[in-house]
Structure 1
Amino acid sequence: MTSARADHVRALYQSFNDRDLDAVLAAMAPDVDWPNGWEGGRLAGRDEVGAYWERQWNEIRPTTIVRDIKDRSDGTVEARVRLVVRDPAGNVLERSEVTHAMSSWVPTSSA
């Protein structure tokens, strides 16, 4: 994994934490297929993912801390992330370690 690619992934997670929806969605393929981990099911496309996150952020405050990023043999990127979820008052609802696999929206060049 190049440092530029890892930096890009970290920046996307920071954009999520900053609630910079436009920055994160712009990095995704237009036809992104995203798991709906909060409500169940799957989401298709940037518009559905954006609406999902807006609904989610009205109810809970998820924050991600990247622990590790690595290339996988199938060409995807794996990010091990510490997830902390708070209610609107700031009370911790959940702390967990999750692994995300990313594909086409992560640049493959070191530029």
Structure 2
Amino acid sequence: MYRDFNARRMEAVLERMTEDVAWPNGWEGGYVYGREGVRDYWTRQWAVLDPQVEPVRIEPDEQGRWVVEVHQVVRGLAGEQAGQVIVDTMVRHVYRMRDGLIAGMEIEPSS
């Protein structure tokens, strides 16, 4: 999934989500809902930002969620920020699954 996200193969990532997925809007804040909400969010985001996420560790937690420690680097694509690194950090992506698909994700600070 991360390879597809980094390559901007949006449909391949969306296919791994439930129709009613709850996805964090890490760019503007809040959440977007459903595959169409995620598609709209990523389309807007990818027009101005180039986020790249590389998983470092993947493991289940005690609540049955999947926790992925990722190295996140975000570069600007437009204006004065074009090509510049805006964010370079470690974060945790915490996934809730349903019927083998992603039903929700949260972004947490890395521990």
TM bucket (normalised to shorter chain) is 0.7 to 0.9
Richer in strand (by share): 2
Tell me, yes or no, if structure 1 residue 35 matches structure 2 residue 34.
Answer: no
Report deviation, 1:107. 3.4
User: Which blocks of at least 5 consecutive residues in structure 1 are unaligned?
Assistant: 1-11
- Give the superposed CA RMSD: 1.6
Identify which of 74, 80, 87 aligns with 1:94: 87
Per the alignment, residue 64 of structure 1 pairs with 53
Richer in helix (by share): 1
TM-score, reference length from structure 2: 0.82
Moved over 2 A (4+): 105-108
Distance 1:82 1:105, change over 3 A: farther
Q: For 1:66 and 1:107, how far apart are their aligned partners in 2?
A: 19
Per the alignment, residue 3 of structure 1 pairs with none
Superposed CA deviations along residues 43-91 of structure 1, whole A, max 9, x for unmatched, are 1100001110110000000001111000111111000000000112322
Report deviation, 1:40. 1.3
Report deviation, 1:106. 8.2
Q: How many residues align?
A: 97
- Report SS of the residue matched to 1:49: helix
- Report SS of the residue matched to 2:17: coil
Alignment of 1:1-111 (within 5 A): 12-88=1-77, 89-104=82-97, 107=100
TM-score, reference length from structure 1: 0.82
Q: Which amino acid aligns with 2:51?
A: P
